[in-house]
Amino acid sequence: MKFDTPATTNPIDQMKVVGKPTPRIDGRFKTTGTAPYAYERHDVVANQAYGWIIGSPIAKGRLTAIITDEAKRAPGVITIVTALDMPRVERGSKNTAFLFGGPEVQHYHQAIAVVVAETFEQARDAASLVRVEYKRSPGRFDLQKEAINAKPVGADSGEGSGAPPIDEDGDFEGGFASAPVKMDETYTTPDESHAAMEPHATIAAWEGDKLTLWTSNQMIAWGKSDIAKSLGIKEENVRLDSPYIGGGFGGKLFIRADAVVAALAARAAKRPVKLALQRPLIANNTTHRPATIQRVRLGATPDGKLTAIAHESTSGDLPEGQPETAVSQTKLLYAGANRLTAMKLAELDLPEGNAMRAPGEAPGLMVLEVAMDEMAEKLGIDPIEFRIINDTQVDPENPDRPYSQRQLVRCLQEGAAKFGWDRRSAKPGQVRDGRWLVGMGVAAGFRNNLLMKSAARVRLGADGRVTVETDMTDIGTGSYTIIAQTAAEMMGLGIDDIVVKLGDSDFPAAAGSGGQWGANNSTAGVYAACVKLREAVAQRLGFNSGDVDFTGGQVSSGGRSVALKDAAQSGELVAEDHIEYGDLGKTHQQSTFAGHFVEVAVDAYTGETRVRRMLAVCAAGRILNPISARSQVIGAMTMGVGGALMEELAVDKRIGFFVNHDLAGYEVPVHADIPHQEVVFLEEADAMSSPMKAKGVGELGLCGVGGALANAIYNATGVRVREYPITLDKLIGKLPAVA
């Protein structure tokens, strides 16, 4: 199905099932422990052995020997495969680093060997007996130091966020120089880890030249293609299966070492092998959000109109990597005649930087929205009013390109009313509650809507039930449920009459999970397949397919009504189709918006920050399931608290690795850190987006939260911190006098 004109009235608009708050249909499996995650697929293939990956002990240099004699004699050892035993394994198209490294080492904990044994403990113990000899080389591990050598580099995150190396519209330098009111500040954000609860894990099994991987992967079709490329085998000989994924956040968008090394180990062992990346290897072996150094310059007239906007960002990555696209939202979010965005990339010998939930906008809005507050204060204008003054209904760099829908002003205004913004003290450091300094902060949330081809297959059985098959994944986002709701709405059934099968590369290729594109595109693919199935049902039952109603398990037209299941009595009906898009995403800017509000209390004696309450007001197209959408947003808001207050991968700049590479040292928010969250969805159906008229919220809920929190801390204390995370040591010496 080609979607190249705005959606008109269709069966989804009935909203009998779609749009209703529906509990997760996979929830009972998750809560009873019966949802099988990758490492727990004990029953899919017999005689599984256990693998243990050995990571490089150096960040930069050359392996001279990997000595395995003693390890091979250890109890239970089946085989040991090292990177020095074979030609270098090819990289997948989405990988920056080689997933099985050596002899040249690109980063610390790069996989260089795997030990396979009869039990997990035997594999782990034997791995400790492997000796690695190497020659260390000097490395580049300090972004601040290497920033001076950074070069202009453009990038596209592949998730709707991107920018050229340097992009100027109008005359920024002239506009900034002549602006009556100016601000010019530099901010930093740190390296961050995905820290998903489920580790990267794979079971690999060969049957002749055919490979099956039961793995934890967000993008099945991408993974299948890259496994084939890495191993030099035909794509049709590869099968990936990921029905349940315990968190991804972008860290499982692409294949990682667990998948490639498990396949190599299984081939060498001549039996199935299962392995999971140890927690330290998840930080240093997989991808992370790169640190940034960002400079923002704003110029405005005294009445608050922005006349000059510049946002420049420097980040680091391995050679051939990409910069963090932190300036992307600044190209679109606010009006202003003279504009400049620029990105630079410093080459570092740290683990690969890549997509982490809302790449680009997440760290970019942590900075831009603080700069907007700083400018509002210089102007003496309320920060919400300042943002409203500079709202735009068109692409600021291309005024002939309007937004399909843009309700940012409503998000801010309705959020302000609900949050009690009028009780905020404009002067910082004025509100106390005992020993606590109390403040409020606001930020705009922004994230683009990305359109991607997505396919599905639907089957109508003789029992009247419909089965949906698509390689779409569920990373904890509720894909099973919204896909079931879509099929139920289209076929006139209850949600209990729908069976959803996901995550298998033998199914039609869907959009996959990432970039908040999954919900809208995957359900649109199911919609397309159901349109075909409706036509097949009508034809088999003798109806005019252009005028048929599907309701309550009945198919009706012209006063005649037949049970849906009767269409399959002579054999199962199967339909398959995909959604693909025309130019609507080019003629109209499609984005999602939010107003984020945070209230904090900061201990006047210690500088400890406590979040008291949070509110997100979101405009993100049709909300397919308010329950799962709210879960996505509050989870993202929690992630935003982590990024603002505690999350930071500490770099050992001598040796070149992330020191706090486990869940004991890498701090993330817990329930006690998040006392109260509220989410409001504005009513919206975007006909430019898809037949579903939906967009996405999975990353919108994160974008802007860090800035709102930083602004709240400033409002509480009068201390402006421009280096994330905002830990108490950055506050304690600057707090107002307590007596």
Residues 68 and 19 in one domain: no
**Of how many residues is the chain composed?**
739
Q: Tell me the pLDDT tens digit for each residue of 20-45.
A: 999 999 999 999 999 999 999 999 99
Q: Is the pLDDT of residue 655 over 80?
A: yes
pLDDT 10s digits, 90-111: 999 999 999 999 899 999 999 9
Number of domains in the chain: 3
Distances (CA, A) of 135 to 104, 285, 470, 656: 10, 20, 48, 15
Q: What is the mean pLDDT of residues 383-390?
A: 98
In angstroms, the Cα distances linking 162 to 31, 151, 322, 400, 514 are 39, 16, 10, 20, 15
Distance between CA atoms of residues 659 and 402, nearest Å: 47
Confidence of residue 160 (pLDDT cuts 50, 70, 90): confident
Q: Under 8 Å CB-to-CB from 238, ≥6 apart: which residues? A: 210, 211, 213, 224, 227, 228, 505
- Residue range 573-582, pLDDT digits in tens: 999 999 999 9
Task: Determine what percent of the chain is predicted with pLDDT higher than 70.
Answer: 100
Helix, strand, coil abundance in the chain, percent, nearest 5: 30, 30, 45
Residue 181 covered by a domain:
no
**90 plus 232 within the same structural domain:** yes
User: CA-to-CA distance for 458 and 467, rounded, in angstroms?
Assistant: 6
Average pLDDT over residues 352-369: 97
pLDDT band of 167, cuts 50, 70, 90: very high
Distance CA 7, CA 289 (A): 37
Residues 631 and 566 grouped into a single domain = no
* Residues 90, 221 share a domain: yes
Determine the straight-line distance between the first and last CA of the chain, rounded to whole angstroms. Answer: 70
Res. 739: pLDDT tops 90: no
Same domain, 510 and 563: yes
Residue 461 token pair = 């059985």
Quote the mean pLDDT of the chain: 97
Q: Note whether residue 391 is domain-resident.
A: yes
Does residue 395 lie in a domain region? yes
Percent above pLDDT 90 for the chain: 98
Give the separation between CA 527 and CA 691, rounded to whole angstroms. Answer: 8
* The two three-digit tokens of residue 533, written as one number: 């199935």
* Residue 153 scores a pLDDT above 90: yes
Q: Which of 249, 281, 313 is the last residue of a domain?
A: 281
* pLDDT single digits (tens) 59-90: 999 999 999 999 999 999 999 999 999 999 99
Q: What amino acid is encoded at 247 in this protein?
A: G
CB atoms within 10 A of CB 74: 19
Same domain, 501 and 630: no
Q: What is the CATH number of the domain that holds 726?
A: 3.30.365.10
pLDDT at residue 686 in the model: 98
Q: Is residue 363 part of a domain?
A: no
Q: What is the mean pLDDT of residues 210-216?
A: 98
Give the tokens for residue 143.
Answer: 């972004």
Instruction: Please indicate, yes or no, whether residues 506 and 614 belong to a single structural domain of this protein.
Output: no
Helices (H), 114-207: 120-127, 143-146, 172-178
Give me the residues paired with residue 192 across strands.
289
CA distance 670 to 687: 39
Mean pLDDT value across residues 276-293 = 97
Among residues 228, 254, 281, the one where a domain terminates is 281
Same domain, 237 and 263: yes
The CATH number covering residue 270 comes to: 3.90.1170.50
- Under 8 Å CB-to-CB from 541, ≥6 apart: which residues? 555, 562, 566, 567
The pLDDT of residue 545: 67
In the block, which residue shows the tokens 């594999």? 123
Is 245 part of any domain? yes
Q: Are 97 and 227 within one domain?
A: yes
The model's confidence at residue 158, banded by pLDDT at 50, 70 and 90, is: confident
Whether 125 and 234 map to the same domain: the answer is yes
The catalytic position among 159, 647, 684, 699 is 699
Residue 352 maps to a domain: no
Number of helices (H), then strands (E), belonging to the chain: the values are 16, 35
233 and 244, same domain (yes or no)? yes
Domain boundary among 586, 620, 654: 586
What is the distance between the alpha carbons of residues 707 and 106, in angstroms, rounded to a whole number? 34
Establish if 500 belongs to a structural domain: yes
Same domain (yes/no): 464, 536: yes
Q: Residue 524 sits in which domain range?
A: 2-35+451-586
Cis preceding-peptide flag for 103 (omega within 30 of 0):
yes
- pTM for the model stands at 0.97
pLDDT in tens, 407-426: 999 999 999 999 999 999 99
Q: Is 699 a catalytic residue?
A: yes
Over residues 374-379, the mean pLDDT reads: 98
Q: Could you tell me if residue 621 is inside a domain? A: yes
